[in-house]
Amino acid sequence: MTGQYTVKEIETSETPSPKSGAEILVSALKRENVEVIFGYPGGAVLYLYDALYECGIPHVLTRHEQGAIHAAEGYARVSGKPGVVIATSGPGATNLITGLTDAMIDSLPLVVITGQVGTSVMGTDAFQEAPIFSMTMPITKYNYQVRSVEELPRILKEAFHIASTGRPGPVLIDLPKDITSKASIVDEEVEISLPGYNPTYSPNMMQIHKIVQALKMAKKPVILAGAGVLHARASHLLRQFAERIGVPVVHTLLGLGGMPADHPLFLGMGGMHGTYAANRALYECDLLINIGARFDDRLTGNPDHFARNAKVIHIDIDPAEIGKIIPTEIPVVGDAGETLRILLEEELEKCDAEEWIRSLHSLKKEYPLWYKKDEGTLKPQRLIEMIHEITKGEAIITTDVGQHQMWAAQYYPFQTPNRWVTSGGLGTMGFGFPASIGAQIGKPGELVIAIVGDGGFQMTLQELAVVKEYHLPIKIVIVNNFALGMVRQWQELFYNERYSESLIPTQPDFVKLAESYGIKGILVQTEEEAYEAFSNNFFHNEPVLIDCRVAPFENVYPMIPPGKGIHQMEGVKP
């Protein structure tokens, strides 16, 4: 029995009634307890959207596919659940490529369903055909192209499993249109059977014992904690481990929130715009314990100078990351949470590192983050400080990439995990605002603030319609310097102030723009106006856009110049 019927035949067939591919897919989404779908319909997914109609799973209609996938990323980041995206074939599918790459680098679980032309015309350059299956191979954790209705239950089950286990990542399912309309009687209750896919969660005990021995010998140990700790929901274990062995902690950009920012063992963020104390620790340490970070080049600077005198321990659930950039003496393949739990069962002693910690505390005190205050200008750093003061650190913050992202990372001291949603590895402009939509839907009771630059916001601002339509009380704070700020900064410092195409003097009236979508808009130009706007609007159950005109030529300091080592920071002092 082939089980192939047209949709029309379904209506007249006798029991047991076959289901169309679209209906089978929707049933599979329900079995995975999908809470929300972000998407944009089109011709190739019409059967699927018809099956979604009144299916009970909420669907958020974004105004661009890029908005849909960034919203799904924001949802996945704060909820820990896979974000689900649907787009049509051709341009609908290719508009997801930036988000897929972003999710792949930052390890965010997504299940992305793209429509495809019918199987009979595939490969003929049919209307809205794009080879999304092959195009996305390098930027997905796994991808499928469905070739029969009978495959759907298995593929959906595997897709959610692969996306959310091991190192999380995006899985794409390319779905030809005729597969959605054909019908079959299939067993929808399937079991996972992936013999070639077995992520290693528990570390090798021999390596654990090597870590314990290395800790006994260390005089200058430091923990580098990345997003892997947050993905494993292991922040409490990180804190217990650091306190038990008395070792300071440095976070990567994406790891912020893993250790409370006011904890005495926390040195701050490392890397290009990290704190001086954190980077000196990474440079001078004799034992580096990397937990769930991938030694990104923005963290290491010139890798020849990174922790060059240290014995390196790298704990990562993805074995491909170990030894990829920094040579590793003790490789540990395992989940960050499971590894920390097992380490805490060992007889750990406090490290003999009092002098080391004292010297780092001295550096932290002597070289704090700084900026020059100016009574007549709204400084972006002060803007972020005010947001932290008013929210008491209890907001979920989303950002794009660039200066505003670095200022948010520096001046919003995160105390708890999973409140920081930013585009780390890919550095995607246009990410922060739609990501805030997903974050707000994932955490409907939380205060969500999208801190965006004027350049990045203009890439995805059409999603204002979604904020209004779905009554999302998101606060949008534009750090507006009329420039592509980080590009301008680099041109100032390294290209003789030749501001080639980085200044954007022509902008929309953001206040009127927000109002045109039915959203309150406020323009602020002074510190007093900003404080009043934040205080009066952050805690109302309505969205608001606050256009903050900040000092246009403010730079992010300190910084590691390109090609320099982590010990060669500039702008450490005023």
Q: Hey, which residues are catalytic here?
A: 65, 127-128, 177, 486
Distance CA 472, CA 435 (A): 13
Least Cα distance to 116 among 99, 140, 141, 136 occurs for: 136
Q: What is the β-pairing status of strands 448-453 and 520-524?
A: unpaired
**Residue holding tokens 């609908």?**
92
Task: For residue 304, count other CB atoms closer than 10 A to its CB.
Answer: 8
Strand partners, 40: 87
Q: Are the C-beta atoms of residues 433 and 461 closer than 8 Å to each other?
A: yes
Distance CA 180, CA 229 (A): 39
Q: What is the β-pairing status of strands 520-524 and 544-549?
A: parallel
Least Cα distance to 481 among 381, 370, 371 occurs for: 381
Q: Which two tokens stand for residue 153?
A: 């239950």
H or E segment to which residue 380 belongs: helix 380-391
Cα-based angle 100, 101, 104 (whole degrees, multiple of 5): 85
Strand partners, 223: 249, 289
Sign for the pseudo-dihedral over CA of 466, 471, 474, 476? positive
Task: For residue 528, count other CB atoms closer than 10 A to its CB.
Answer: 10
Distance CA 37, CA 29 (A): 10
Least Cα distance to 97 among 138, 59, 60 occurs for: 138
**Residue holding tokens 């600077």?**
301
**Residue holding tokens 């070739």?**
147
DSSP output for 136-193: TGGGSSEEEE---GGGHHHHHHHHHHHHHSSS--EEEEEEEHHHHH-EE---------
- As a dihedral over the C-alpha atoms of residue 63, residue 64, residue 66, residue 70, rounded to 10 degrees, the angle is 10
Beta carbons within 8 Å of 91's beta carbon, 6+ residues apart: 128, 130
Q: Which two tokens stand for residue 181?
A: 């309309």
- Beta-strand (E) ranges in 388-447? 396-399, 420-421
Sign for the pseudo-dihedral over CA of 228, 234, 239, 243? negative
SS3 call for 448: strand
